[in-house]
A and B are shown apart, each in its own frame.
Chain A
């Protein structure tokens, strides 16, 4: 049986238990659910278990709108990274459902009269119940109109990192660049997270997401270059010279806006648009249907906003260094993954005039982990 089918079986039973508790009240059925979950747990989870020792290890953590990613050096000196979906899904509290969640080691918490499943488990529940996921963050920051945002982001983070073994262990978390005029929102977001990590016992501090990409990818260039992290909610740009951030800014565009825009014009659910985008979008070939065409159009729109912002911001800057050599530009984040993305970006970049010369556009070695890796570099 393949993993997806196994997963669907487990979910079906949970779903039945929730709808019709007495049907599944015998231990036997539940036990097989437990076994299935154990078998289904993927090998990456094993790799990612907290490693023993390494008490002086520091931690880098990317607090992303869509995913939270942690990164540290394991005992074998190799990088260990874990991630969770920054999302949750509520179901009415029932002892039966709670027991099943508990037995299956699912990530959940109780909030008022609800069982709140979070992380990747929430995604499975949302699919099962055909409901929309809830998110603690939007456009890079904690969501103001989500009453459980702060509580749930803390739950999700603690499913990835535990209290430090030694008080004062260093932890660096990523923050976005504030959007112009919205600096005070970042102050709140950053303070809430910092307070939380300090409360756990860490010596916690932040790093700008664009700078983190540079720290992760441009070590051999002495941390000189442009780092662009395109995420779910934000596009963060940083130009750094010898690790000193010279220009940093954020644009409210990314994967979420693409999903929303496409879903509106072709009348599809956001979830379906996202799944198709993540699973099969190929920007190097002509679109085959309406949905693909809309995805191409909104990718073009996003990239045009990004390259135009580079031209505008850089040409207005009076802080640019006198460069004797062209500098690299590195791209990271989930939306950069589709085939053909880099070629499209390069093509767009040729349309604008920048006051500095780019030697090459480079994809981050691991676009989904670059920010967390950079935060780890900064945490030293």
Chain B
């Protein structure tokens, strides 16, 4: 699935996406598999079994309800977590059903020396 999460709003730089096995999106204590991620965005594939177990419809309703939400980017192999702020930039539907979410994120605090790239 090649859904754009970088062009909204227009980004000055292109951010390459990586598919990293074991990377997950943690929202309200539940983990969802990440299809791919860049320095700015995440694509959540809500069709995978792991996501369905986490409750796809539940997360869709909750994150859509908010302008910005806190979540963790998790490395499930080490259990390390990076807290981030996210927002939905695109909802991908198939036959009325939400199959994926494109999120943009930012670091908690943007100081000059952090996340400048």
Question: CB within 8 Å of B: which residues of A?
Answer: 172, 177-178, 180, 183, 205-208, 211, 222-224, 238, 241-249, 313, 316-319, 321-325, 378-380
Tell me, in angstroms, the Cα distance from A178 to B23 when the chains sit together: 29
Q: Is the CB of B14 within 8 A of A205?
A: yes
* Size range of the chain B interface in the assembly: 20 to 34
For window 55-95 of B, CB contacts with A under 8 Å fall at: 73, 75, 77-83
- Residue among B14, B109, B113 with the highest chain A CB neighbour number at 10 A: B113
Cβ-closest chain A residue relative to B16: A378
Asked whether, in the complex, the Cβ of A244 is within 8 Å of the Cβ of B79, the reply is no
In angstroms, Cα B111 to Cα A180, docked, is 11
Q: Which of B18, B81, B115 contacts A322 (CB 8 A)?
A: B81
Q: Does B20 touch A at the CB level, under 8 Å?
A: yes
- Give CA–CA (A208, B14) in the complex, Å: 12
Contact indicator B75/A224 (Cβ below 8 Å): yes
Instruction: Give chain A residues whose Cβ lies under 8 Å from the Cβ of B14.
Output: 205
B37 partner, pick from A178, A238, A242, A318, beta carbons under 8 A: A242
Contact B75 A242 (CB under 8 A): yes
Binding site for A on B (CB under 8 A): 13-14, 16, 18, 20, 22-23, 37-39, 73, 75, 77-83, 107-109, 111-117
* Contact of A222 with B13 at beta-carbon distance under 8 Å, contacts A177-B116, A242-B75, A319-B109 already known: no
Measured between beta carbons, the chain B residues less than 8 angstroms from A207 are: 16
25 contacts between A and B (CB under 8 A): A177-B117, A180-B113, A183-B112, A206-B13, A222-B23, A224-B80, A242-B18, A242-B75, A242-B82, A243-B18, A243-B20, A243-B38, A244-B39, A244-B73, A244-B82, A245-B39, A246-B107, A313-B113, A318-B108, A319-B107, A319-B109, A321-B82, A322-B82, A324-B80, A325-B78
In the complex formed, the residue of A with least CB distance to B22 is: A222
Q: Which residues of B lie under 8 Å from residue A178 when comparing CB positions?
A: 116
Shortest distance between the CB of B91 and any CB in chain A (Å): 23
CB atoms of B108 and A319 under 8 A apart: yes
B residues near A177, Cβ cutoff 8 Å? 113, 116-117
In the complex, what distance in Å separates the CA atom of A322 from the CA atom of B108?
Answer: 13
Q: A324-B80, A325-B80 are known contacts. Are A241 and B75 too (CB-CB below 8 A)?
A: yes
For B108, what are the chain A residues with a Cβ–Cβ distance below 8 Å?
318-319
| A318 adjacent to B109 (CB under 8 Å) | yes
Measured in the bound complex, the distance between the Cα atoms of B117 and A238 in whole Å is: 10
Contact A380 B16 (CB under 8 A): yes
CA distance A110 to B50 in the complex (A): 63
Docked Cα-Cα span, A246 to B109, in Å, equals 10
